Copies of this chain bind each other. A is one copy, B any other.
Amino acid sequence: MNSNYFNSNLNRAETAKLVVSAIQRVIGDLPAGLHEPRFAGNEWHYVKECLDTTFVSSVGKFVDRFESEVAAYTGARHVVAVVNGTAALHIALRLAGVQPGDEVLTPALSFVATANAVSYCGATPHFVDCDESNLGMCPVAVRDHLRSIGELRQGVCFNRITGRRISAMVPMHTFGHPADMNGLLSVAHDFSLQLIEDAAESLGSKYHGCHTGTFGVMGTLSFNGNKTITTGGGGAILTNDEELARRAKHITTTAKLPHRWAYEHDEIGYNYRMPNINAALGCAQLEQIQVFLQAKRSLFSSYAEAFSNIPCMSLLNEPDGCSSNFWLQTLRLEEADASLRETILMTANDAGYSARPVWSLMHNLKHFEDCPRSPLPLAESLECRLINIPSSVTLAARCGIDHNHLDLG
């Protein structure tokens, strides 16, 4: 079967129906969102404790507890909980030394928050290409690009074309699949770039045994409602550097100096702390993460089996040496068959199964169209070929395959 096959609308429609049938076989007839949270642990218990003690806001024990539990889970030495993943990225970039006028390498294929956070620092995102297998920033492409446009002057990387300093790179672990961290750390080292990991989507994902977000100088997480665990809205900064952690806590809590009553602030700070009631939700959610991850892995297996006989597409698997959280299950169409995408999106959504394409590439957004970029052949190809399908933890319970041991009741 090749691309000519899909020059017929009829054949496109038939393949889309096969996709919907496969989804239906795995998760049943009921409509399904892309990713919905599940609250079956201590959520109500902890949230009620916040209300009963009146500690819902900036004071209360759950923020500290959530931070130390996320640290224990990820292996990061320090964790600072904040209001969302975008705020985490903003502060991580700032503390990594990104200055107004700098450029920061970010994936063309990412959620808009990665590039927006660079803009908040007064810096310019510089878009680079991604890898076919893990969808993350491609170290080979980035190295080639930096050899072409970058130069080191006294240990500082500059873009020879724009004259601006390139101060950092922000790989993102797309849909929970770890990017090639060894390759990217090597590029960051060779070109003197700070490496900050956008691990918004990859809580629970490991690269060669270590949790994503712990490789760079800082990493960031998101606990938005559509993530593997949620705090309503929330995020976190991970770091192994004690001084960066202290600075992150300080700057995200209005940079107030500790004093029994006086209000002194020693720098421009942000009101980015996570409220206690949201952290309470997070503590309860984190207690269940192993069950969630097991469910998502089982869902992947069920989908993989169901899609195995459908031509022209494959279900994205975890990269070699990695353990993915399978945050969003992803169909990748063959390059010749990208024309299927819209038909599948329409058919699946019409059938009540949420399906969505990957984000529009960043350099095509109006406000980033003048930003520098490398050649982006893979991002441009993948943009037309990726489809996320329903991925909630609760869907594993609907699978035909026996997941009773998951206790998803």
Contacts and interface: CB of A to CB of B under 8 A. Distances in A.
A72 interface: no
Interface stretch (A20-28, A33-41, A172-180, A320-328): A33-41
A233 B83 contact: yes
Q: How many copies does the complex hold?
A: 2
A262 to B, nearest CB: 6
A363 to B, nearest CB: 13
By secondary structure, the A interface counts as loop
A372 interface: no
A270 interface: yes
A183 to B, nearest CB: 27
Contact of A54 (B36, B87, B354): B36
A48 B59 contact: no
B269 A112 contact: yes
Contacts of A254: 112-113, 116
Contacts of A230: 56-57
A85 interface: yes
Contact of A265 (B54, B112, B270, B354): B112
Interface stretch (A271-279, A288-296, A298-306, A401-409): A271-279
A396 interface: no
Contacts of A263: 111-112, 356-360
Interface in A151-183: none
Contacts of A276: 225, 232
A84 interface: yes
Contacts of A39: 51-52, 54, 56
Interface string A96-137: 000000000000000111001001001000000000000000
The 9 A-B residue pairs with the shortest CB-CB distance in the complex, in nearest-first order: A57-B225, A232-B275, A86-B271, A233-B275, A263-B359, A232-B277, A261-B356, A56-B232, A39-B51
Given A58-B233, A83-B83, A232-B278, 9 more contacts: A47-B51, A57-B226, A57-B233, A112-B265, A116-B270, A119-B268, A233-B278, A261-B349, A266-B365
18 contacts: A37-B54, A38-B54, A39-B52, A43-B51, A44-B48, A44-B51, A56-B281, A57-B233, A58-B233, A112-B256, A112-B265, A113-B254, A116-B268, A232-B278, A233-B271, A233-B273, A265-B360, A277-B278
